[in-house]
Amino acid sequence: MFLKRPKLIQVNLNPVQLRSIQKRTKLTNISELSVISEDPDSNSELQMELSFQIESKEFYNAVINASFTAVNNQEKKTFARIKQLTKEAEEIALRVKGLEKMLKLTEKQVKYLGKQLRDVRIAEKLDLL
Percent of the chain exceeding pLDDT 70 equals 53
List, in sequence order, the alpha helices (H) in 7-55: 15-25
- pTM for the whole thing? 0.38
d(CA 124, CA 37): 104
Write down the H helix ranges in the chain. Answer: 15-25, 56-128
Q: Does 37 reside within a domain?
A: yes
Residue 106 has pLDDT above 70, yes or no: yes
Q: 64 in a domain, yes or no?
A: yes
pLDDT, tens digit, for every residue of 45-62? 433 333 444 455 666 777
Does residue 109 sit within a domain? yes
Residue 81 lies in a domain: yes
In the predicted structure, residue 26 carries a pLDDT above the cut 70 = no
Contact call for residues 5 and 58 (beta carbons, < 8 A): no
| 3-class SS of residue 60 | helix
Task: Look at strands 32-36 and 8-13 and give their pairing.
Answer: unpaired
β-sheet bridge partners, residue 13: 50
Q: Is residue 94 part of a domain?
A: yes
Hey, which residues does 11 pair with through a beta bridge? 52
* Dist CA 16 CA 24 (whole Å): 12
For residue range 33-43, list pLDDT tens digits in order. Answer: 333 334 444 43
Distance, in Å, from the CA atom of 68 to the CA atom of 25, rounded to the nearest integer, reads 11
Residue 113 in any domain: the answer is yes
Total domains present in the chain: 1
The number of residues making up the chain comes to: 129
The DSSP bridge pattern shows strands 8-13 and 47-55 to be: antiparallel
At residue 57, the pLDDT reads 64
Checking if the pLDDT of 30 tops 70, the result is no
In the prediction, which pLDDT does 95 show?
A: 92
Residue 59 lies in a domain: yes
Average pLDDT for residues 99-121, to the nearest whole number?
A: 89
Please say if the pLDDT value at position 86 is more than 50: yes
**Choice between 56 and 111, residue whose per-residue pLDDT is larger:** 111
Q: Could you tell me if residue 1 is inside a domain?
A: no
The residue range of the domain holding 57 is 8-128
